[in-house]
Amino acid sequence: MPKRKTGARKKAERQKVRQKGISQQQFNIELGKHPCNSLYTCDVCSRVQKNRAFCYFCASAPKIPSCAHCGKTKCMASSSDCQLPHPARNVTGMNMVGCICDFCEAFLCHSKRCLTIHCCTCPLTDAICIECERTVWEHGGRMFRCFSCDQWLCEDDQFEHQASCQQLESETFHCLSCNRLGIYTCLRCKICFCDDHVKSVNNAAKKGEGLTCKKCGYALRETKDLSVSVRQHKFGRQ
């Protein structure tokens, strides 16, 4: 018989789980709240844009740049992680800058942790708008993810895309392979699957994971939980 866990042992295990969850939060930051995708107002032209090293409109550098990884605007004298030591004084502005990220085009502070971690974990590494195919360097706005298909969107196309994204290509909710009502829907391919045709030899659901689309491999969602439409409304010039 295994020994029964004492109260102190149970408390220590719960604390260990909590600490692990807290340490993982730094890798699970929402895209809208990430420092590299935050809003920034230019000091010269007063245009609102994504946090970047130089203004997209007038190419001027900010007076008080913020780090794209940790979000700080001042490096304290007590910090021991600086690659450029500045004992007995706090630094701001260009004295705090270490480099520019190639993916999000924003300044990074000269902290060793930010310089070594951010470029490998930058959330905007593969950020190319699915509608206009522009990258971060080709427009001044922020980047977003579509709620339905999880594709990249720029600030100009996000509303138009998401308004038409929850719309199926077929005129009914029937399965792609038969005439039965589709229980599962792929929001990337815009097709439905019934309970029989959702699985295949190459599309077997693993233990603890959900079903995926046979065409693109994107996670399927139940049709009853979605607000998808089969009617097409076209406005303006086509």
Annotate 28-70 with DSSP letters as a single string. ---GGGSGGGSEEE-TTT--EEE--SS-TTT-PPPSS---TTT
- What are the boundaries of each domain within the chain? 31-121, 136-165, 167-238
Per-residue confidence in pLDDT tens, the chain, 238 aa:
567 888 888 888 888 888 887 766 665 677 778 888 888 888 889 889 888 889 888 889 888 889 988 888 888 888 778 888 888 888 888 888 888 988 888 999 988 888 888 888 888 888 888 888 888 888 888 888 887 788 888 888 888 887 777 766 556 677 877 878 788 888 788 778 888 878 765 666 666 567 888 778 788 878 766 666 655 555 444 4
For residue 238, the model assigns a pLDDT of: 42
Interior/surface letters 175-184, b for 16+ CB within 10 angstroms, e for the rest? bbeeeeebbb
For 52-75, write each residue's pLDDT tens digit: 889 888 889 888 889 988 888 888
For residue 226, the model assigns a pLDDT of: 66
